[in-house]
Amino acid sequence: MTAQASSRRTPSMDAMQNDVLAEVRNHIGHLTLNRPAGLNAITLDMVRLLQQQLDAWASDADVHAVVLRGAGEKAFCAGGDIRSLYDSYKSGDTLHEDFFVEEYALDLAIHHYRKPVLALMDGFVLGGGMGLVQGADLRVVTEKSRLAMPEVAIGYFPDVGGSYFLPRIPGELGIYLGVSGVQIRAADALYCGLADWYLDSSKLALLDDKLDQMEWQDTPLKSLQNLLAKHAVQTLPDAPLEALRPAIDHFFALPDVPSMIEQLRAVTVADSHEWAVSTADLLETRSPLAMAVTLEMLRRGRHLSLENCFALELHLDRQWFARGDLIEGVRALLIDKDKSPRWNPPTVAELDSAQVASFFHGFDESGS
């Protein structure tokens, strides 16, 4: 099929406070997260607006593909608006419960979307931002991209499908990213399979122009791939995680978090001792409970379907505000900002395997 470029521009919805912008150009639906002052952190209203627009475009024959991006220079999306979820829980509201149900449904819808989705991952792509892009068909990073599932830093676990996409990264790299919460850049994102293409951020405007002028041929996905092949690359040299892979595969295959920290300090694998000690130091600042539950969740997720991974995350969510470390983490890092969270338990040495296992009780891995 061949279609000529169209100059049609149609504002598609009256977005609440314009937090999500939508328009169609040349048969492409463009969705922009538009809270740049908040690093495009997503709210429940934004989740609903995104879902509504994707549903409308799915059945619109004039829309061949969707492009996702974030407004501003700093972020695609720095995650969920965690402060609003904290306030909801503290006030006895249900916003925090509704948010995860609807956010996960949106992320799952992107994974299964019937038309190709191109995600422009410029700047920070953290937590909930990763949930939006990891189901996309074409994931583009730039030199400004910073990807992470940093939830353990605030006493939470990597959700939004993290239990599916992290353990499917080769070796133990995904376990490392989830348990440590570290950020990676473009070369590592490509190496891990968390992105597909690299493009200099200075060329994003050119890519937009090319999308506006593109002639549609064959299938929409192939047309987009052919365009990216002319302007972007699929590998970058010198991915730091490639060099660290032997060490990461050793340490993060160990049975539990205390063993990981102990061996990171005591054992040298290849030429990684400095990295290993700094990683041990980092893990000791994270919530011990969140790291332990994350490790168990990711190892279970290796063997679960995508739908069951989201179901497992929701199972954990429903207990976590009352029993996990998130409320304390948000208090220490975002509310009072004393940066001295009182984790429960306070150290990895005090982790109780029965407490960790209790979070998974009652979950049916068969999905029935």
Catalytic residue among 29, 70, 79, 80: 80
* The total number of residues written for the chain in this structure: 368
CA 193 to chain centroid, in Å, comes to: 13
Determine contact, residues 154/105, Cβ cutoff 8 Å.
no
Q: Is 80 a catalytic residue?
A: yes
252: nearest Cα among 281, 221, 211, 283? 283
Q: Is 14 a catalytic residue?
A: no
Catalytic residue among 107, 151, 172, 325: 151
**Catalytic site residue from 159, 296, 317, 325:** 159
- Using a 10 angstrom Cβ sphere, with 0-12 exposed, 13-18 middle and 19 or more buried, the burial of residue 135 is buried
Residue 159 annotated to the active site: yes
Q: Dihedral sign for Cα 137, 143, 148, 150, please.
A: negative
CA atoms within 13 A on the CB side of 130: 27
Which is it for the CA torsion 77, 81, 83, 85, positive or negative? negative
H or E element, residue 130: helix 128-133
Q: Which of 79, 127, 128, 178 is labelled catalytic?
A: 128
Closest of 39, 92, 85, 157 to residue 327, by C-alpha: 85
310, 364 Cβ separation under 8 angstroms = no
Q: How far is CA 201 from CA 28, 150, 234, in A?
A: 20, 24, 15
Residue that is written with structure tokens 């892009």 in the block: 133
Separation CA 342–CA 331 (nearest Å): 10
CA angle (295 as vertex; 292, 301 as ends), nearest 5: 140
Going by C-beta distance under 8 Å and a sequence separation of 6 or more, which residues neighbour residue 236?
A: 186, 187, 190, 198
Compute the distance between CA of residue 110 and CA of residue 160 in angstroms, rounded to an integer: 12
Task: Give the separation between CA 68 and CA 87, rounded to whole angstroms.
Answer: 29
In sequence order, what are the beta bridge partners of 20? 33
Catalytic positions, please? 80, 128, 151, 159
